[in-house]
Structure 1
């Protein structure tokens, strides 16, 4: 959603402190050139030499004065004046405040190079005191030099203060932005540090070094923000379509589309389980959870089944603690059937994966197989996870096992065929690239055969919208946008309330036409249909950034963050949110700067490079 100052420069500064100083010849005007570390023009020996020469001349003048005979008040005669000496005396004017300031700065440089940073601070402070306030060329450098000395003393608060003073005089002072951002990071004021790095990116026209530093910083902020939100939130809203999509691949689920179990509970007057199933099927999930609790605590006829259903809804709502408690109660109960336990393990793996517990998830798949090796749902579910991880050999093996147990497992058939086609096309593309012959893809007889097989399979499952959706995605990846549009339409005819499907279609049209208007309408419609579809909010937010509408993008990212299900996904969204907010703030600040390059600001506001 999301691109990403130079560590070698930091090492160079540490090994040679004089590199951090500002020279008289440095220019901090806003020229939009790549940032370079300023090197001190006067090397230490030359600076010391000039200082000693000054002291020698001063001593000679003093000695000369002392050697002159004293005038006597009794002298009646005066020596005739020497016109040349009079001219010299006229030229010896008092030093200006700026000359005194520069002299003090040079003395500070000598102390700085010698590692006497306290003495350097004193000299730079005198330079600042003597420098006229209206001199915006030298005064920022004096502040920056003192900041460098404070940095070596690890007085980061003072570094921030002096860099801020330097930037108030020269808002485009890149070195001051760089040093302040590092000091702010050391003070754990990460958001402020990122604002400085964002300014630096803009001033340097997004150089690789500035982007790398900004990317590193925003990740720190995003991770911290996501961790706090993820830890403190208590459940998410869920739509009926989202719940159905989870259960559709579970042929052996005891609740979802299980007419035998429904008939069993329908006539049981002592149980409220029938009511819970009706609420589940109607999409009233909050009430369903309450009814399950009543069955567990009061009527107690179908306690394990009620915990399985309640735990499933808790898991989908991201109430992981409650879900895990229900699942573990079932798995630790000796009276629970093996089929109920294996079904519970499948749902527990979903909880593991949402929390980034991949190892634990695969361990739970193994446990499910140990107690119920004939449950085809285990293999189908694990095959999909293997495929998403790029472990295709293991994925196809599990799909085959699922179909061996149930040859009519629709989801397994369709997904296996599509993953196989993707693998074939990826290998063909790699071969074409290796022999530098892109035309071989379109001329391939094998591709035509595999495509024909896939389209035949789709015709066999014309009532399954997922088949159309998967094929449309493949066509879009192959840049056959017009043909993909036809299949997306067919999928939406079968499943008109599928918000995620509408997002996929909008992305295809955008890639096809390079136009935002129609896709944005579709995405807004998707949000209206399902206001819990995080994918729609995230995609719409990213498009609004592309359109330069940062306030709207911020609003949409904030909504998407509240709906995302994994901490990793939330971290990415938080990074995008922080980036959008900060860019908007920095652009406003720079636009008020008279020295800003309006062409670059306009380009950035239209997103010609930041995200």
Structure 2
């Protein structure tokens, strides 16, 4: 039988465990006239009462009453009032329950702190049923002053704070509850998770609107573009200069018939191309100089230049990389609607807009854009590669597998897609708990790193799968190979640090690797986030807060910010709880 939701020591009934009442509140002085006596009558003699309900006086002709019980102490009288209040509570008579609990509070000796705290939390429970949330908070606060680690009072006050919109106070109380309960109570964990997500979304929305755009590191940009095999931005400038109308080759006879005027025209066009904003942007891109790309693309677009479509794609891409999706979206929309534009440009724009939708939590529109891209160019391997990644995020592993299989069938030399295909195979086998499929996935990884020995991503993904399988020695070997192939990639150091934690519980080694990642790329938000999480586990909450704040400043999407704010607020709450209650989560 479940414990009552109304109060401590209430008889068991149908109330769910998560609603167990906590009694807390401001005492209300109630005068109690006289002492309470209990008498027992003989079995067949009925009790006589006056019209007002009081027992009548004994007459000489009445049988002699049995010996009167001793007078109850004030503490016992208070318990009697509480028990009576519990019965009212169970019957749904919350006002009457409140009155009884108030009477119990009024007569309970001050040195009975534990009983008093129970009476206050029971009264808070009745107030909660009446939605008197301010009174709930007041009573819970008094209960906690009497019993500092009273988890029922903490949790009930947390719920009341949430109801009135005091989310941070709610989070502090529910965090203390979770720690005191050893993170074993599902209901308090769910409330903490809900409040963290709500706060994260609210803060991220506000921050994203006022954030200062930041260009990510060169390594990040390089990794981003490596995920495309057919992005025109990455193609040689000579290829870019061929417009859609120029793709047909001139015949030898046509060239022989070229007039002097035509030659002058070609010369003028050549000079015009040299001055093109897009061409300058492309030259900067090839040199790894990204700061002026958006401005140069804007010149091409506003001047309605020959490569305006190319410029729209490049500008939108760099707006996205800077975290300015709202500015990049119109460029993608315009390019997608340009039916005379190069098909590869439009498909690339659809892929990027689909990814943008996904980053904003809109998977329906994301999948719609990928479906449109397939109809437009069904043999473009990039579509299936990126949709496969999206399906992995959506935990649609079977769909991801089909996409990666299609991608590598179209473009078997695309090493990154081959590696991610193996990882999707591994995820599918792991989900199905199939040893045979698991072994097949690991064999596929072995083949990929043999066929593409220069693909660091293949070694890194294989290492993550090996780590899951607790094959730590081999996982570390794969990570070290990935570092050797791409020493400037900070994420590999972060993943290897996580391996050190899981394998050897070597926190110092993990922290050293995280710091190495930040030395390589001080804009790696993944490293700041992971290091912040480790510092929380070590109890270094102030340092963790600083790391999360830095990661938030570098985040490129509102969704990323919301996640990071959740981590930040959790660390802040733990810091305050530690100061208030002198409790911390167990170190890991």
Q: So what's the TM-score if we normalise by structure 1?
A: 0.73
Q: Counterparts in 2 of 1:143-542, with a 5 A limit? A: 143-207=120-184, 210=185, 212-232=186-206, 233-234=208-209, 235-261=213-239, 268-298=273-303, 300-386=305-391, 389=394, 391=396, 394-395=399-400, 397-417=402-422, 419-420=424-425, 422=426, 426=430, 430-431=434-435, 451=443, 454-455=445-446, 457-542=448-533
Deviation at 1:262, TM superposition (A): 5.9
Q: Is the 8 A contact 1:239 1:283 kept in 2?
A: no
The separation in 2 between residues aligned to 1:491 and 1:504, in whole angstroms, is 11
Deviation at 1:499, TM superposition (A): 0.7
Deviation at 1:220, TM superposition (A): 2.2
The separation in 2 between residues aligned to 1:39 and 1:428, in whole angstroms, is 44
**Does the residue aligned with 1:496 lie in a helix, a strand or coil?**
coil
Q: Deviations over 1:52-110 (max 9, x none)?
A: 99996996797789xxxxxxxxxxxxxxxxxxxxxx9xx999x9876876676677667
Q: Deviations over 1:527-568 (max 9, x none)?
A: 232233222122212222232222222322333344445555
Q: Is the 8 A contact 2:18 2:187 kept in 1?
A: no
The separation in 2 between residues aligned to 1:511 and 1:382, in whole angstroms, is 31
- The counterpart of 2:7, out of the listed 20, 28, 51, is 20
Aligned to 1:607: 587
Q: Is the 8 A contact 2:423 2:461 kept in 1?
A: yes
The separation in 2 between residues aligned to 1:109 and 1:393, in whole angstroms, is 55
The separation in 2 between residues aligned to 1:355 and 1:518, in whole angstroms, is 35
**Does the residue aligned with 1:308 lie in a helix, a strand or coil?**
helix
**Does the residue aligned with 1:20 lie in a helix, a strand or coil?**
coil
- Tell me whether 1:584 sits opposite 2:575 in the alignment: yes
The separation in 2 between residues aligned to 1:135 and 1:551, in whole angstroms, is 38
The separation in 1 between residues aligned to 2:576 and 2:495, in whole angstroms, is 32
**Does the residue aligned with 1:335 lie in a helix, a strand or coil?**
coil
Aligned to 2:265: none
The separation in 1 between residues aligned to 2:427 and 2:455, in whole angstroms, is 22
Unaligned runs of 5+ in 2: 11-16, 24-35, 42-46, 61-66, 243-268
Deviation at 1:522, TM superposition (A): 1.0
Deviation at 1:116, TM superposition (A): 5.1
The separation in 1 between residues aligned to 2:531 and 2:339, in whole angstroms, is 49
Q: Is the 8 A contact 1:143 1:163 kept in 2?
A: yes
Aligned to 1:136: 113
Deviation at 1:243, TM superposition (A): 1.7
Q: 1:455 to 1:513 in 2, by over 3 A?
A: same
Aligned to 1:74: none
Q: 1:307 to 1:36 in 2, by over 3 A?
A: closer
Q: 1:111 to 1:349 in 2, by over 3 A?
A: closer
Q: 1:320 to 1:49 in 2, by over 3 A?
A: farther
Q: Is the 8 A contact 2:323 2:555 kept in 1?
A: no
Q: Is the 8 A contact 1:266 1:274 kept in 2?
A: no
State which drifts further: 336-345 or 575-584. Answer: 575-584
What is the root-mean-square deviation in Å for CA atoms of aligned residues? Answer: 4.3
The separation in 2 between residues aligned to 1:150 and 1:400, in whole angstroms, is 60
Aligned to 2:544: 553
The separation in 1 between residues aligned to 2:343 and 2:221, in whole angstroms, is 24
Aligned to 1:68: none
Q: Is the 8 A contact 1:296 1:306 kept in 2?
A: yes
The separation in 2 between residues aligned to 1:55 and 1:131, in whole angstroms, is 31
The separation in 2 between residues aligned to 1:385 and 1:194, in whole angstroms, is 32
Q: Is the 8 A contact 2:204 2:562 kept in 1?
A: no
**Does the residue aligned with 2:539 lie in a helix, a strand or coil?**
coil
Q: 1:345 to 1:157 in 2, by over 3 A?
A: same
Q: Deviations over 1:342-375 (max 9, x none)?
A: 1211211221221222232222222223223343
The separation in 1 between residues aligned to 2:445 and 2:97, in whole angstroms, is 75
The separation in 2 between residues aligned to 1:456 and 1:559, in whole angstroms, is 40
Q: 1:515 to 1:51 in 2, by over 3 A?
A: farther
Deviation at 1:404, TM superposition (A): 4.8
Aligned length: 528
The separation in 2 between residues aligned to 1:531 and 1:337, in whole angstroms, is 38
Q: 1:121 to 1:330 in 2, by over 3 A?
A: same
